[in-house]
Structure 1
């Protein structure tokens, strides 16, 4: 069958987490670099579609092509390993400890960031004709995104920070659901359909994805956005990373693990006893 049952794909999640944690540093960096680069290209693609057509929904509908490509190629996003790697630790897989999980997260973060920034520089070259002209319409939009999603949050203080965090939680709830949905299917078409729906949802709803933001905000800084690196880190990237961790691990990884891998004890069937009805007197 092309569909795996929940206990089957939940076990695959733990297996995947173990494989990622025990992977060599070389392979982890290569795979995470490529994942960050491909997702950045997809974000540039979606913004370009939105600007040129004026239809944000169309951009969101087509954005998942990048996520599907990087997943099928076996590359790694920080949002995915936030969900999968801890499951191998919880399941007490051999060779998996807290330190190895943190090592994996650190390497994937560095690789994703490097890939996203490389693409950000390349796209900035295109949007400004080699930095010889003012940014075109797409480049101007990228600068605007960077401002609204950093200083825009800062203007609201604690309420803005809470909103940012919740958007990060909801984002990786959906993104990690896409990762798991791909494990439900054994065919390429099934994997793509499973991934497409939650990824489209998160992008259109404007949820905060730490890796997409690794492209959007460096691009915005290079293209005239009126915000600083400090604004980006404090009022976007750091709270988004924390929100992504909470969303993916809590609402996807742990929920599926506790109910499909480490299931609760089944209740015994109730014993039916005769009920004596008192005779009428």
Structure 2
């Protein structure tokens, strides 16, 4: 099994898990609000479906994707939300069916990319493995939004390592999205996964370090948890700053996540 096969297998598992949660919902369930911004379950699935379609377009029709890049550049703060709103108009049963079709189309498109070829994206161009990993990250993150809104406990699996990997690789991008210079020097990252295995990135002798719970780190870099609410520690000025701005996704960071104590007060 190739690395791409492994990542696509995990992507399929993440998608199937979310599919199982939403496929049993009635109409009211699909309208459950999942974010402070007002995204419903329908918005969440619509967003994932739209991103799958955009990924396929990036692979198979670069001129058409370039037009999408222009639209995103012209409306950086509203482009994603507008796409989600449009997708949310599709009836749930139809949206679920088309999302499933889009997932299959994406897997086929990624497997057909010639070796060594990069795929254009809203951030830096990516290899098929990187794009598949990014899709795991997106599906994982939005699954948490849906699960928390529906009161579902998300299984803690080693698939979170893909999310952590994107988060580490996107460290420099996190600074750029804040208009900050990327600091010099490496950061060693050592995290413990849900199965007890050690996930590591960066040189062992780096002066600055990030350590802790790998699953929590994945929540942090998808901006689903405030850095004060995760079991992740930093040693060094730049490592500490990184934990406050880390993001694993392309585009603007959006609103900072609320602390859990603030979320509890907001829910009362």
TM-score, scaled relative to structure 1: 0.28
Compare CA radii of gyration and give the structure with the larger one: 1
Greater share of helix? 1
Greater share of strand? 2
Q: Which structure is higher in RCO with an 8 Å CA cutoff and minimum separation 6?
A: 1
TM-score, scaled relative to structure 2: 0.29
